[in-house]
Chain A
Amino acid sequence: MRAALHAEWTKLRTVSAPAWLVLAAAAATVALGALASRAVTCEPGCGLDATKISLTGLQLGQAVVAVLAVLAVGDEYRTGMIRTTLTAVPARSTLLAAKAAVVAGAVLAAGVVGVGGAMVAGRLILPGQGFAHLPATDGATLRAAVGSVLYLVLIALLSLGVATLVRDAATAVGAVLGLLYLLPILLMVVSDPDWQRRLRRLTPTEAGQAISHTVGVDTLPIGPWSGLGVLALWALAALLAGAALLHHRDA
């Protein structure tokens, strides 16, 4: 496993795309969050969720993270490298686990920088927009920040699983982004409010992003940590399905 990890780390480190994507994910998270913070104004008692506003950039950052994770598998299939890799590491589950660990590490770095930067940007910008009390270290804010980093990591693992399933980078990115962006749109037209609430609990984005709320958490369809749990189940399911197919298919 150590050797497999080392090999995956070398592969990730020695091409330029992953490094750029890590940077882009962090930059996108900070930039969109800062833009959203600039866009909003708060009159006293507006009840808006300053932390959630700062973390708006997750919506864009997750797309970059998805591309990063998909390419870790997709590029191997595109170039035929996967056959060399599987010759070197014949235990396919070990390979997938090593890939998952390395990608998770890279996204963790992107997430810490991106979410941290977005929180700092929000703390700098939002007071000028009329937000009065911005506690930096209360429980809910810390939970939102840490949870949002984990959210990005789980999105990456989900994307990795999907990429292993479909073996083509373009299709995998389309499938993941469809899951992330289209489900919320499609849910908007579910006319029965009870069903809509039930389905929103099961959607990876809607459930997973519950973690970034600090105001009105009780009114969300799902609690913050259980929401992140739903996303974790999605990621686990995708990885398991990917692992199963990786075992049973020729590369």
Chain B
Amino acid sequence: MTPYRSALPTGDDGFPALLRAELTKLRTVPGWVMAGAVAAALIVGFALLASGGGHSRGGPPPRDADGTPVVDRFTFVHRPLPADGAVTVRVASLTAPDGPEPWAKAGLVVKAGTSPGAAYAAVMVTGAHGVRMQHDFVDDVAGPASARWLRLARAGDVVTASASTDGATWSTVGTTRLAGPAEIGLFVTTPPHETFDQFLGGTSASGHPVLATAVFDGLAATGVPASGWETLAVGAGDDPRALVGAAAWSGDTVTVTGAGDIAPAVEDGPGLEQTLVGGFVALTVMVILGVLFVTTEYRRGMLRTSLVASPRRGRVLAAKSVVIAAVTFAGGLVATAVALLAGKGIMGDAVHPVSALTQLRMVVGTAALLAIAAVFGVAVGTILRRGAGAVAAVVVLTTLPYILSVSAVLPVVSAQWVLRVTPAAAFAVQQTVREYPQVNAAYTPAFGFFPLPPWGGFAVLCAWTAAALAVAAVLLRRRDA
């Protein structure tokens, strides 16, 4: 007698079939599908909510040619420079009442006009960072530390900055291009004295404006009209409380005072990452889904069926992770892209401009963050086998460090440490504002600055997830289901 054989063809037991099975389990629970849809809707909804309403106080800051918001305020003792020419000067001293700020600046600048935001090239003595050549607001090149003689020369449209310790032997600090009629001359400026701290829900920026004083001598110029030097406080009209510098001549010596800065504006209006605040809600929803994806199988006994159908347990865990990650990533990508574009449209000019590449990183990064967090949920759910503890663990690990750091509950040093080692570091993928070494600003989590680079922070979450998956795989194999 022949044993019974089913007439149905043997099912495929490869990994694709397993993926299909897990996808079917995921998409056939109406509550889960609805939760995912609600999460996506919340991402978009909070983007609309967060980007409406208030805008930055005061007028918009000046922008440079690329549209980067800049600070451009200094005392300018200048003459027109129609074509080629050069100016040489010695910075005899750079002082301020309480000592010069590290980034107080005194030196020579050639600028395409005197309106704030116009292109420039400058060589300067700084308070504590030696001689620098800076141009176009973001570029900063170090020169000899002890030099006090500065020269700025233009030939064709190439501007060459040189420095010297004795006025005889010169070394080139850097070159850049600046075409067309320009203004050339002496400048002095200094950022205000500021220190930053944060603790217990408060951020403190304590400081006061400073007026720096520089004494120049040995001034020599070629290629400029013979008429006298004019003094102008560039950009002083912005703020009535700002200190305004002046220039005083005494023979060959000129004493110039100035305040302000020539640098990229670091804190300026709302950041574009505000549009992605709904990602936190979505994160919580997706973590719950990830946990339930496993713990429901334990609860209903479904896991025993799953493991009979696919006895290699590691593959079941892998299939679950792949499915929930892929679904979350796809949905998250669409939702965050819509949220970002809609929020950007509403905020308009008020938002700090962000390059297209950064926007792409924010969208892809947030979607990936959601996907990996869901996998983290799967792994922790497998380890704990109970929903409540797993959800609490993942939500606390991802959002509590963020709250403690960003809402300034912890002091800066601890907050940065927390955002380096906890999964919350992954929110660095949403960071929009660059950190500039030549600008003294509050580079703290409360102002949206993460201690790790965007993908570095994301890697921290990936490491946590990989570790949790490894533990989950071992436990799933060892324990009875």
Contact = CB atoms under 8 A, between A and B. Distances in A.
Given A48-B199, A174-B288, A186 B277 contact: yes
Contact of A182 (B284, B386, B391): B284
B255 interface: no
A251 B414 CA distance: 47
Nearest to A206: B201
Contacts of B389: 67, 173
Given A66-B392, A67-B389, A174 B284 contact: yes
Contacts of B277: 185-186, 188-189
A67 B388 contact: yes
Interface in B200-215: 200
Nearest to B389: A67
A188 B270 CA distance: 11
Interface in B370-420: 386-392, 395-396, 399-400, 402-404, 406-407, 409-411, 413-414
B392 A63 contact: yes
Contacts of B396: 60, 63, 177, 181
B53 interface: yes
Contacts of B299: 78
A66 B388 CA distance: 9
Contact of A59 (B280, B395, B409, B413): B409
Interface in A8-54: 35-36, 39-41, 48-49, 52-53
Contacts of A36: 409-410, 414
Contacts of A59: 400, 403-404, 409
B414 A172 contact: no
Nearest to A49: B200
B387 A188 contact: no
Interface in A67-86: 67, 70-71, 74, 78
A191 interface: yes
Contacts of A189: 46, 49-50, 270, 274, 277
A60 B395 CA distance: 11
Question: Number of contact residues on B: which range applies?
Answer: 35 or more
For the complex, would chain A's binding face be called helix, strand, loop or mixed by DSSP majority?
Answer: helix
Given A63-B400, A184-B403, A177 B291 contact: no
Interface in B289-312: 291-292, 295, 299
A212 to B, nearest CB: 10
Interface stretch (A97-105, A115-123, A163-171): A163-171
A30 to B, nearest CB: 16
> Interface majority SS on B: helix, strand, loop or mixed?
helix
B392 A173 contact: yes
A188 B278 CA distance: 12
A170 B284 contact: no
Given A59-B409, A188-B406, A40 B199 contact: yes
A169 B387 contact: yes
B421 to A, nearest CB: 13
B362 interface: no
Contact of A177 (B54, B292, B392): B392
A169 B199 contact: no
A26 B399 CA distance: 21
B295 A56 contact: no
Given A36-B410, A52-B200, A181-B400, A173 B387 contact: yes
B476 interface: no
Contacts of B391: 170, 173-174, 177
Contacts of B287: 174
Interface string B26-64: 000000000000000000001001100111000000000
Contacts of B54: 191-192
B151 to A, nearest CB: 45
A170 B399 contact: no
A52 B295 CA distance: 38
Interface of A: 35-36, 39-41, 48-49, 52-53, 56, 59-60, 63-64, 66-67, 70-71, 74, 78, 168-174, 177-178, 181-182, 184-186, 188-192
Given A78-B386, A170-B391, A171-B292, 20 more contacts: A53-B200, A56-B410, A63-B392, A64-B392, A71-B388, A74-B387, A170-B295, A170-B390, A173-B388, A173-B391, A173-B395, A174-B284, A174-B287, A181-B399, A182-B281, A182-B399, A185-B280, A188-B407, A189-B49, A189-B50
